[in-house]
Amino acid sequence: MKNYLNKHEKNQVLTIASFVSFFNDLADEWEKLDRDSKPIGNMRRARTRAQRVLDYLFEEIDGEQKKKMVEQLSKMELVARYKDQAAREYKKMQKLEDVTPVDTDDLFDIANTALNYCIKKCTNTGKEVENCVNRKLFLKYDIPVLDDKAKAGKCPYQFKSLNKIREENQKTDLMIKEITGKTDLDKKEAKRLLKRLNSISEVNGKIKEV
């Protein structure tokens, strides 16, 4: 191993050292969150192996250079970023006519409108979830999920359980059927009436709370 490293070699060593620090912190964080022990164990083993590489690389480095690198390391962290080529392509893409740059907060506001349906009404399962356009767009643009433990076939953007949604839908259908059976209202008019009654009920509930 060389006693003195050039700039590129120093960056390689500092990256390995940052990797060791990152995996150490991440394993501790996941342990506190009570995550699965298997990936945590693999992370600790990966950290140990990387530490051995680092120890070997540091062994022959000149003392002054080693001291400076340690000082630099305390100011660094491991991050994931786009490659320079990808960044250039992204800037180029933003100038195209069919691309509209959107502020992140505005994007979340727009997504919230669609999420209201997903949270309250969606009953998709299995293939319906996999093929859902909303779900694909939400994931594409990093819209935070509501259920980070959703299994395959269950949408991570569904808030209520499917059984709960179905119960509410069945209850609504029965009430509409009862209204249409006892009045001259058709199904559409009965839905409007039920919606108004629910709104009045919510207002009365809030008044009672005050």
Whether the CB-CB separation of 107 and 113 falls below 8 Å is answered with no
pLDDT mean over 79-98:
68
Q: What is the DSSP letter of 156?
A: T
Record the pTM: 0.48
pLDDT at res. 93: 61
Helix (H, G, I), strand (E, B) or coil at 71: helix
Distances (CA, A) of 27 to 14, 45, 143, 148: 20, 10, 25, 19
pLDDT at res. 28: 92
pLDDT mean over 19-45:
90
Q: Which long-range contacts (CB under 8 A, 24 or more apart) does 132-141 make?
A: 138/111, 138/114, 141/107, 141/111
Q: What is the pLDDT of residues 105-142, one digit of tens each?
A: 777 787 887 788 777 778 888 888 889 888 888 888 88
| Distance linking the first and last C-alpha atoms of the chain | 76
**Residue 194 pLDDT greater than 90, yes or no:** no
Rg of the chain taking only CA atoms, in angstroms: 28
Residue with the larger pLDDT of the pair 206 and 172: 172
Domain edges within the chain = 7-73, 172-209
Residue with tokens 């691309």: 99
